[in-house]
Amino acid sequence: MTVITGVGAYAPRFRITAEAFHEAWGQFQAAGVNEKAVAAADEDALTMAYEAAGRALEAADVDAASVDWLAFASSRPPLAEEDLTPRLGAMLELDETATRHVFAGSTRAGTRALWAGMDALESGSTTGLVVAADAPRGVPDDGVDHAAGAGAAAFVLENGASGTNRGSAEIVDRAEYATPYPGTRFRTTGEDETRGLGVTQYDRAAFTETIGGAVAGLETDPDVEAAAIQAPDGKLPYRAAGAAGVGTDEIQAASTVHGLGDLGAASVPVSLASALADGSESVLAVSHGSGAGADALVVETDGEVPAETALESDDSLSYAEYLRQRGVVTSGPPSGGGAYVSVPSWRRSIPQRYNLEAGRCPECGALSFPPEGACSSCNALEEYEPVQLSGEGSIEAVTTISQGGAPPEFAEQQGRSGDYAAAIVSLETKDGSESASIAAMGTDAAPDAFAVGDRIETTIRRIYTQEGVTRYGFKVRPAE
């Protein structure tokens, strides 16, 4: 028996309201969306997946090294052609031999990944981690873009026979349905924006037929407390209530679209995660992917499922600020190149940038970060002993980087995000007995939220892009 033993969910801190869109365009085409989450300039589906996955592993009290099956799902992965699970696995410190799969190309990808995770554990894997993250994007004056939000959810799957005494959830029934409805929602090769033909009755028929077909394929007639239904906007899920065999109250109990927007492949996973975190004992989860196909899953709980979610925020953007964060309006790249770091050199530094691996001098015992070159305390040129830092510490010095002050390689992000904090932080070892001083960029807060002596924690974000390859690494934010 495969059970969900931990749930994590994450949404970026930025929000933009329907009113802000209406002021800019004179209309707002995302029915039922009051506000939506907006990915920051240094966020994408991969960094959001990291945030949600870390929370799920912590909630389940599972060591990442024990995960032997990983899935990453997104309709808009940061790269059109590259398997991002090696990067995600390294960020989370999964074993390098873990099986990995990518699911993409559809807003149905999140439930496809969860479905495959169940099959993997039934076939012999012991611990699975399924992560769905997305940030849809449309043409600026189109309803797809008006609704497009950002968020991620993650689920730890284990064999029920080896579970703990804590609560868990089981997918007790599942079914799928597919029939061709071309043109309902698509993004052609080379395009950046998702779009549709905008034929209302056609789109609605595709949505309700596939959802109804998937639910009809279940072996039992679900009687649930909450229904997590795909939400391209805030009204379409309710229009499918009859086809799904549920009421509007059940849909409302799991809905996240009204405050986060359309989360694409993460829409149903985030709503499912939210419903489980709220204590729902039975949930119907139904995804829809254009084309058109649907998955229906019935989830029942045995006690309260451990969950850690970060979905709330009141950090609102104006429409102009929204365009900056999205990179639609920037000052452009600066003249002159930045400091060049080759991809092979960057790869060698991944243990430091992802996992905060410092080094101990074997001669004097001092900690160094990064662990390279001569020891700063005794000048010894010996191979360092690896020591992993905890990701928690305090600020020793801080300044604000404003426009014109950022190094060229960071100028594009500064043009999108605005001023940011640059700090020297003291990161502690896991037992808190020692620390190492490290230079770091601030994120997730305005520069004035960082002050000397404040506690901070690390996360992983986009650093910059050179030669078309995005470099990811740790940044710091105010501790929760």
Residue whose entry in the numeric block shows the structure tokens 């990067």: 87
- 372: how many CB neighbours lie within 10 A of its CB? 11
Structure confidence at residue 277 (pLDDT)? 97
pLDDT digits (tens, 9 = 90+) for 400-448: 988 767 777 777 777 888 889 999 999 999 888 999 999 999 999 999 9
Average of per-residue pLDDT across 146-164: 85
- The answer to whether the CB of 223 falls within 8 A of the CB of 245 is no
Q: What is the band of 294 on the pLDDT scale with cuts at 50, 70, 90?
A: very high
Q: Is the pLDDT of residue 163 over 80?
A: no
Average of per-residue pLDDT across 120-149: 93
What are the structure tokens assigned to 466, written together? Answer: 């050179």
**What is the tally of helices (H) and strands (E) in the chain?**
15, 20
pLDDT digits (tens, 9 = 90+) for 233-249: 999 999 999 999 999 99
Structure confidence at residue 331 (pLDDT)? 53
Range in 117-126, 255-264, 459-468 with the lowest mean pLDDT: 459-468
- What burial class does residue 428 get, using C-beta atoms within 10 Å of its C-beta: 0-12 exposed, 13-18 middle, 19+ buried? middle
Range in 80-89, 159-168, 197-206, 239-248 with the lowest mean pLDDT: 159-168
- The answer to whether the CB of 87 falls within 8 A of the CB of 181 is no
Structure confidence at residue 262 (pLDDT)? 97
pLDDT digits (tens, 9 = 90+) for 9-22: 999 999 999 999 99
- The answer to whether the CB of 262 falls within 8 A of the CB of 287 is no
Strand order of the sheet with strand 14-17?
A: 35-38, 14-17, 315-316
What's this model's pTM, rounded to 2 decimal places? 0.94
DSSP label of 82: S
Closest by alpha carbon to 43, among 457, 413, 461, 411?
A: 461
Buried b (16+ CB within 10 A) or exposed e, 133-152: bbbbbbebebbbbbbbbbbb
pLDDT digits (tens, 9 = 90+) for 254-287: 999 999 999 999 999 999 999 999 999 999 999 9
Mean pLDDT estimate for the chain: 92
Quote the CA–CA distance of 172 and 176 in Å, as a whole number.
14
Q: How far is CA 152 from CA 2, 60, 353, in A?
A: 22, 17, 22
